[in-house]
Amino acid sequence: MSVWMRFDKPRPCTDMDHGIVHRDNAAFCGWPFYCGLWKFPDGSLLASFKKIAKTYDQADAISHTQLTVGQGHLRTIRSYDQGLSWDDDSLQTVFDLGTSAQAIAQSGGHDYADELPVDFLDPNVITMSGAMPALLKSDSRAWLQISTDAGRSWRRTILLPLQGLNSLTGHGPPAVRPDGVALLGLSTTTPDGWTNRPLLYASTDGRRWDFLSFVTPAIEGGSAVSDRQELALFGAIRHFYTRPLVLADGRVLASLRFQRDARGIFWTDIFESEDGGRTWHFLSRVNDWGAPGDIVEMADGRIVCVYGYRLAPYGIRARVSEDGGRSWGSELILRDDGGSWDLGYPRIIEVKPGQLLTTYYMNTRDDPIQLNGGVRHIARTLFRPD
């Protein structure tokens, strides 16, 4: 691919189909990126997302300053037809986001020492992680749950040990090396809340999780003083949302969000490890704008990164790498019908050779219910990257 082909004008993907995963006009549904999307040997799929009871009658009700602290539940939902439709009767509550770290420490502890070990190479073993009272805070504590039966039941919630870190945020399931070691992407946040550093914990058997490596070099400070006129949530808080991916050739990639402003000025960086996640170096920048980016390696070896696009026209976009993540093709537009910047956070898997499924949260400009965009719901796109 020539350098200039990478900068062809963004174009709509030619083979795609959109649908709804879950919508509730009296709820804010969002952020599947730090929840999960899985395919199981029985052919079923499981998607996870955050759901908060809200009515769309006042702006404060759906403000991220309110939604991101101790509200709602993590839910799962199943598909039995490769993602075409989703069964509302299968909705399950996995975690109450109002739970305190103290309560988990008292009831769950910091490991599964009393549980049987798990085999992370078993596709029915899945893991979910998050943080309370909120993600990416100076006092965040990461929690974790494991299921050994494809998400039908879950072990008790545990806290991950800080192991000398100031704070710890979990944001999604791990990647698994060929030796069965699970690599869990996390972030730590400085006491002033303005600088994050991505990192990995690892586990051989699910019973305990330990620090493995930092993904990015240490940096001093955070954003410039001029950027600190509002909450750190919206400001320039650097790299976070570590999403590891183990490739067929043995390398490990990690997509990271680099943020200047949460409403659109951020992008997706790729870091690479050639020693199983122990050490890392910068590999490429996927795009001009759009993050967090989820990544998948297709059966044919291509790597696809999908991300929310929070500049007008708002929507969901993707890029394809044909050289192992070192460079990225021109931008594919999956959706451009968003009603506001409040969308994105996708997950992506390959449901069958050549066909991808991405789930994300969406609001549309033609929704009859409007509050800075339409009802926030979980949507999906099935597509073949061209």
Residue 225: pLDDT over 50: no
Q: How many domains, the chain?
A: 1
Lowest mean pLDDT among 70-84, 229-243, 244-258, 275-289: 229-243
Does some domain include residue 279? yes
In this predicted structure, the answer to whether residue 267 has a pLDDT above a threshold of 60 is: yes
The reply to whether 148 falls in a domain is: yes
157 or 67: whose pLDDT is higher? 157
Q: If pLDDT is split at 50, 70 and 90, which confidence band does 88 have?
A: very high
Structure confidence at residue 2 as a pLDDT band (50, 70, 90): low
Residue 161 within a domain: yes
Average of pLDDT values for 309-313?
Answer: 97
Q: Could you tell me the pTM of the whole model?
A: 0.95
Is 383 inside a domain boundary? no
Amino acid at 97: L
| Of the candidates 49, 55, 56, the residue with the CA atom closest to the CA atom of residue 74 | 49
How high is the pLDDT of residue 222? 47
Burial of 140 (0-12, 13-18, 19+ CB in 10 A): buried
Output the pLDDT for position 226. 41
The mean pLDDT of 47-69, rounded to a whole number, is 87
Look at residue 76 and tell me whether its pLDDT is greater than 50.
yes
Residue 253 lies in a domain: yes
The CATH number of whichever domain residue 134 belongs to comes to 2.120.10.10
Q: How many CB atoms lie within 10 A of CB 93?
A: 11
In this model, does residue 3 exceed pLDDT 70? no
Whether residue 103 is contained in a domain is answered as yes
Judged by phi (left if over 0) then psi (alpha if -120 to 50, else beta), residue 30 lies in beta
224 pLDDT higher than 60: no
Looking at the domain assignment, is residue 319 inside a domain?
no
Average pLDDT over residues 63-82: 89
Position 286 pLDDT exceeds 60: yes
Assess contact for 23 and 375: CB atoms under 8 A: yes
N-to-C CA span, the chain: 13
Does the residue 278 lie in any domain?
Answer: yes
What range does the domain containing 116 cover?
Answer: 99-217+229-285
pLDDT band of 235, cuts 50, 70, 90: confident
- Mean pLDDT, residues 16-23 taken together: 98
pLDDT at 70 over 80: no
Structure tokens at 375: 């009802």
* Parallel/antiparallel/unpaired status of strands 332-335 and 11-12: parallel
Residue 36: which of 168, 147, 162, 156 has the closest Cα? 147
